[in-house]
A and B are shown apart, each in its own frame.
Chain A
Amino acid sequence: MSSAKSVEVSDLDLYYGSFHAVQNVNMTIQPNKVTALIGSSGCGKSTFLRSLNRMHELVHGARVEGSVILEGQDIYAPDVDPVAVRSQVGMVFQQPNPFPTMSIYENVAAGLRLNSRRMKKPAMDEIVERSLRGANLWEEVKNRLERAGSGLSGGQQQRLCIARAIAVEPEVLLMDEPCSALDPVATLAIEELIRELKVNYTIVIVTHNMQQASRASDITGFFNLEESGKPGRLVEIDETETIFSNPANKATEDYVTGRFG
């Protein structure tokens, strides 16, 4: 199986053109833990998440300063290929986005076929099954692997996307509000899955749902804006229990107790 890795973020500043979106983030993301990032809309937590696998730079004019060190290597060093970074750091998005023209099987296998990797059919079958089991989806789809992934329910599609992400055995798994488009039952299924996945992966999840952060995460980081137009900053990061019961910062307390945002 893959080996979870820690991520060391130092003095990270993120920009969209001249707009300073996130200012001076320092944090250590611990292996085999779920780190939740909470904060109001527009505080830069999604932007920060996307900087961890170099998806931030896909936006026209986006820039990054500072360093993100994964396994001793700064992923923003000039000689690092973003394609290689993204195959080490997987991502699950807010809206389930299986490839609509591919079957369930092909969706899970999509990452395995990249970069001209060749793989025999039995080996591929095995990884597809293992990934679908890993995403708690195997029992539901094992008899219709050749059907379109877009025919599944929203929650199943999101688990399919998780299976697709873990099939390439990343070291870190990023999740950008993975449950915000799902109903409560599907949400609980995904949260349970997240707790199981941390055995093998380092997980960072952005969420608007504070119950979700308190249920599913070990560490919680709170992002905030001083005022609109100013860059977002990481106000506080600590054990989830501490953040929700006894935060060090007043703004954090206001946010988690619902007096704000």
Chain B
Amino acid sequence: MSTITFLEKQKKKLENQLRVLWSQINYCEDIETSSLALSDYLFNMKKIYMDYTRNENYITLMAERTKQKIDLQLSLFLDGLDKMIQLRENYSEINVKIMELNKDNIEVDKHLRQTFALLQSVSSQTKVLAINANIEAHRLGAQGAVFKIIASEVRKLSDITNESSSNITNTTSKLTSQTSEMTQILNENSNTLINVVEELEQGKDSFVSMYQDSENIVNESMVLDDKLLAIYELIEKVNVMVEYNRASYTNVKKILREQVDLTKEMLHDFNQELGVPTNGFSLIDSTDLYKSFYKSFKEENVEQCISLIQHALEKGEEASFITTHILERTVETVGKEQIDRLVPLSEIYVNGRIIEACMDILLPLLEKDHKKENLGKVIIGNAYGDYHALGRQIISTFLRMAGFDVTDLGLSVSNEAFVEAVKEQRSNLICVSALILHTAEEVVQLRDLLDKNGLQHVKILVGGAPFNFEPRLVQKVKADAMAANGIEAIKVAKELLGLMHRKVEYK
């Protein structure tokens, strides 16, 4: 090999290195920018914490206040209950006494009735005696006048005795009946009181358990407050770390710039040696290409994006460099920008169309140069019964761009077809897209069918509205993970296939 050829080759390598260095500098700038955004997020998180708790164990205090109120009420309740129990006992005693009194009354009544019977008999005999005395007095004539008076008085006495004993008996009977009525009322009252006390005693248990619950809430709140504080402290640490990282990247950028200058000098030397003028055009070009491409991408200008890539390829830029440093980087940057705002599906659709159009140009070249990154085979399709293609197509495009070999089975794919494709392609990952809940639930059957076919190692990645609404659905349908958008799909697919160091549990 001649020296010139050697120098030209080395020069070419240096130029490539320079492009990579510029790309690295740009990445550093991206990281610096996103670090700033990250700091803002962290600041907002801290603010939310401070606004909510004012760092005063807000939740615990509130729980403690509630507990104290319940405690006070419980004391009042228990005090009242004790009094009621005392009352119930007093009532029982009164009841016993009244019952005894009632018993005595009945006895008195009985004795009085006997006495009355005796008195009635005495009165009746006295009456007979008075009548006979009267007859005898009449028979005696004038001598019997005094005796007649006595007989008449004896009769009156008999009548009075009779009437009085009858009155006494009536009064006693009334008294006995009233006492009995009173006993009944007292009995009823006593029963009501017993029932009330019983109910209150039952209520006491739930009151006490309510108090215990409130105590548990206080304890749990203390834990929660501590956890919140721990999160807050971690946020502060992360914030510091982010700042350090930003500073580090600034330094890396500085070092890279020095490296750029050194490479430029070397290139200058090479050019001098080769006798050609130094041309900075291609060096600035890669940065400009990224900026122009990014601008056109944001403006959703497919034609301009394609034209920029074609132009770059014509100028000798490598397909692998464009894929990684221009296309993927643009998608990453746009993805980051989209975190903080609602991105309409129409925009994602257009992004996908641009990527697709660019990949149509780049993929054949990558394959030709054997530089196509192959991250593995992926099967994708809509769940059985699902006819919503858009999401699936977008994910498919993103996965292709990332270097996955994607087989798209299309709309409403039967579980059997998924399994068949997995076997045929020897794929370890199936992506299922579903817009409707009951089609999303088809994934359960897919998992079962895979397992029955000895394909337990095959992972299922799901996506679509029902999963976005309720991530627990992922677990319910026995999927391995979900992805809400294209960028996430790339990341999760890599993780599921063990292509990333960090293993994240998505369930």
Whether both chains belong to one complex is answered with: no
Give B residues with C-beta under 8 Å from A.
none
Give A residues with C-beta under 8 Å from B.
none
